[in-house]
Chains A and B, each alone.
Chain A
Amino acid sequence: MRDTRTPFLFFAPAFALLGFVLLSPVVYGVWFSLQRVEYGAPTGYGGLINFRRLFDGDGLAGTFGRTALHTGLSVVLTVVIALALAVWIDRLKPRFGFVVQTIVIVPWIVSTVVATLLFRWVFVNDIGIAAYLIGTVTGGVSDLLTEPGGAMGLLVVVSVWKRIGYAVIVLLAGLKSIPDELEEAARIDGASAWQIFRRITLPLMKTPLLLVAVVLTLSNINTVETPLILTGGGPRDATRILAIDVYERAFAVFDLGTATALALVMFAGNILLVLAYVRLSRWKA
């Protein structure tokens, strides 16, 4: 249909909202970041003053390093475990597979606040059920949350646990789109289960795997709740990653200048990931 007024009227409200909520704050944020900011309010053009203060400040390199470690470990572990689970569920009888799939999705449906809170309760010093179980195995009461390595480890575990369900759904959809005949043929030719997985399934799963990895990376980098509730960035700065750093700069230290600058740096990184996502998601208008 070659009518431009009707479609415009139909999509304009949606675009007006997206422009107002998603786009205009970024434009305003760029302007704001170039202002001198005092007590949370802009007081005049300041050039790159906020960016200079951001990069001259202590600990930013460490924060980036920890973010890379947390996100890298979480994404790799989530993808590997989810792929194994998806392959397993794919081979179950449909009914049972649906039940398992539903159970696997539960932590993803529950809010990050609730999931993290419950996880902290499971691992809390001396009375948590997991702390107790670990204690009986290692022979001492352990408190992972007070040790730097333990806290980061738990942060990764929660991040993985929370997102496996999402990854399983997408990967399962990918597995189901692989024609049975391909694997059947390989089997008749005498290929082992591992060979079939390695040579047929894995190459055909490249796009869904990459897509999942991109979305998981974005989600891990930008999630504030998990570090905020599990560790508060501690002990000391052991779990201070970008998401909580930018949140605390703005709402605990009230330094909106460097907070906006850092948010824009993160936003630039997000844009790169979004471009990768747009390429991988095979959309068509």
Chain B
Amino acid sequence: MSAPGSRHALGRSARAAVTALMCLLVVANLLPLLWGVLTSFKADADLFRFPPTFFDFAPTLDHYERVIVSGFLGSMGTTVFYAAVTVGATLALALPAAYAFDRFEFPFRQGLFMLVVASIPLSLGAAALLIPNYVYFVGIGLTNTWFVLPLIYTAHQLPMAIWIIKGVIESIPRELDEATIVDGGTHLDVLRHVMLPLARPAMGAAGVLAFVGSWNEFVAGSVMVDSPALKPVQPMIYSFIGFFGREWGPLTASATLAIVPILIAFALLGRHIVAGLTKGAVKG
């Protein structure tokens, strides 16, 4: 439904008003980000100037220096490691699971897949799941380890990844896997030589969502690990709020640095994100 015909009913001025309103909404979406990025390059004198100034200031990197001295780059490195492990583990577990659900008949298949679907929004339940998760992991001594966060993040990203990848496997002709089997190949060969190459776009979508999800995660990251070497980026920014107080220069600098990897991922694979989300049921 993209035909423009129905516009005729609206008057020219009404149409202009709608467009202006919508453009305003689009600007409102970007303004806080732009304002934050600009702030991070302002010296304190320009930062606290009143009325506020947009572009009339001499840019400085002082705030970035302070944030980096406080260990922010190390935290970013830690988070890249967490996100990379999460993406790898998520895809490695999701591809065979999606293949099993699409190509095999086995008992309780429907019920088990329903559990996967139900887990998609369940992993959104940060606040509700976090406390039981925390007391349990403290109980069995998993907190404060290098793998606890990738473990949690992978579990959070996995259901969505299975769903997305299964959607694509559905469209891969069964003749291809049967041909491999007839030629004496195993199901592992099918996974490696048929599914892996053909499901690559879906794995890109699932992978970039897993990356963004683990990079942006805050709650588990803030309570499951204590040691500064294990702290991911988002809790680090939160602790800066206590540390820098009302010094908005360093705060906006750390926020800007934290956005950069996300924007890079989005620029490179943004189409995959939209495609992955459009596939069906999605997280908010």
Contacts and interface: CB of A to CB of B under 8 A. Distances in A.
B284 A163 contact: yes
Given A85-B25, A110-B33, A214-B121, A25 B3 contact: no
A89 B140 CA distance: 50
Interface residues of B, number: 113
Given A22-B122, A222-B127, A11 B101 contact: yes
Given A4-B107, A18-B159, A105-B274, A180 B3 contact: yes
Interface string B238-275: 10010000101001100100110011001000100110
B179 interface: no
Given A118-B252, A121-B35, A215-B283, A18 B119 contact: yes
Contacts of B266: 106, 109
A166 B284 contact: yes
B215 A15 contact: no
B198 to A, nearest CB: 17
Contacts of B32: 107, 115, 118-119, 121-122, 161
A43 interface: no
Q: Which of B2, B117, B246 has the most CB of A within 10 A?
A: B2
A264 B32 CA distance: 36
B69 interface: no
Q: Contact size class for A?
A: 35 or more
Interface stretch (B59-67, B70-78, B129-137, B199-207): B129-137
Interface in A81-132: 81, 84-85, 88, 90-91, 94, 100-107, 109-115, 117-119, 121-122, 124, 126-129, 132
Interface of A: 1-4, 6-8, 10-11, 13-15, 17-18, 20-22, 24-26, 28-29, 32, 40, 81, 84-85, 88, 90-91, 94, 100-107, 109-115, 117-119, 121-122, 124, 126-129, 132, 136, 161, 163-167, 169-170, 172-173, 175-176, 178-180, 182-184, 187, 192-194, 196, 201, 211-212, 214-216, 218-219, 221-225, 228-229, 242-243, 246-247, 250-251, 256, 259-260, 262-264, 266-267, 269-270, 273-275, 277-278, 280-283, 285
Interface of B: 1-10, 18, 22, 25-26, 28-33, 35-36, 39, 47-52, 93-94, 96-97, 99-101, 103-107, 109-110, 112-139, 151-152, 154-156, 158-159, 162-163, 187, 212, 215-219, 222-223, 234, 237-238, 241, 246, 248, 251-252, 255, 258-259, 262-263, 266, 270, 273-274, 277-278, 280-284
